[in-house]
Structure 1
């Protein structure tokens, strides 16, 4: 079921989105050589508790996962890209870290992800991160009333293929509101002009993610962490977006993005 939000409800989601943005900014600052993933997990737990937010991940048990998720943030390193289960791993120079988080505040959810490089950046890692960021911005631009869902998917695919990266269609964006995951599914590949018509009040989590040389995935033994099937490095960018009568509103935009920095 697709639920259209009122302007007041979108404002409430924006409150949650700003907090999610703060968390990802903080994680980006803390992610450094020698930092353990569990240190980041516990730091975020503290932020959530102090804010009075509720993790959308804790005890989450969807069909694609292995039992209830018992962490508050997904942390995926290098060839891992989605649903990374935080564990005892110490970040190394040159690692690529994707952080993905969703919470609710006063019953309204927001979801966002970013990929950062720890220590010394490699040009190819910077390139794939840039591709996901540009694909996300293209998707946001297409998220306008009167357009079709396929316009968003096609915009993401066009950027990805322009960079020469293959596109997986098993996981993509989704509706969001009172819960983290809802209809519609937003594929990262599609045809412009196809699919449901976008209407004001629709809120979506748009999330292009890419691996350098494959569109195939494998799961870790933990039953959650998803990696590129060939071990190639990955990146993931996500924002929660509201469709309005005018420009789309990015509810999880980070301060450094607003200042023109990535």
Structure 2
């Protein structure tokens, strides 16, 4: 089913053609976006990987970071190199969700309430329209026995290309990106000096108005945006203790990578580490961010 491209109706609940708001949401997801007008966080794939163990030492839940982010709207500009040393990149814009509904699911002796918080716009090429949009938010599961579990979720809601829906690796990449978002928020809260901040001025055309002022043209608006880059010494100190506990071999999920030539390449999942060729050394990890409360 096509709504400005393709709405994903299978999961989560609440997204269907019968919902009176869906058409408006799809129009917003499919609008052109000028990424240069947003604050930007620059990270390499390796830096994202180095931050992952921070999940295991969180003193608060992922829902806290999503509900009260240190940086509310920003672009994650993530770079990486292939085996030939050629650098590519992906851009992901995190901004407030356009979804106005709360989703409720019943089943398995529990009532699950899902509250969308933000939308992540994935740009897999140099275009100005997102290739995919993933909604992220917080959930609360209330069980028959009185137990309450809270946590975070991510769900793809819209894609520009129908073929993306058949890519299982991409679904895992969406989940990995949610962790990256939370880890950036954690670093900004726990140790903001990990990032070096610079500012740049962007000139923006004002929105046209119905009322024209005689003899005067519309003035361009100058907007200051932040660019955050890693401070290497601070970052090394921030992640050092966790890197020393790292396993001899770990997996990197599959992901798209874009090149300055305009070429887009799918990087298949692979293993890293000194013992990456030893199957017995591989250590798989399932990172979870949940808080469990008892009534």
TM-score w.r.t. length of structure 2: 0.25
Give 1 or 2: higher strand fraction.
2
Give 1 or 2: higher helix fraction.
1
Which of 1 and 2 has higher RCO (CA within 8 Å, sep 6+)?
Answer: 1
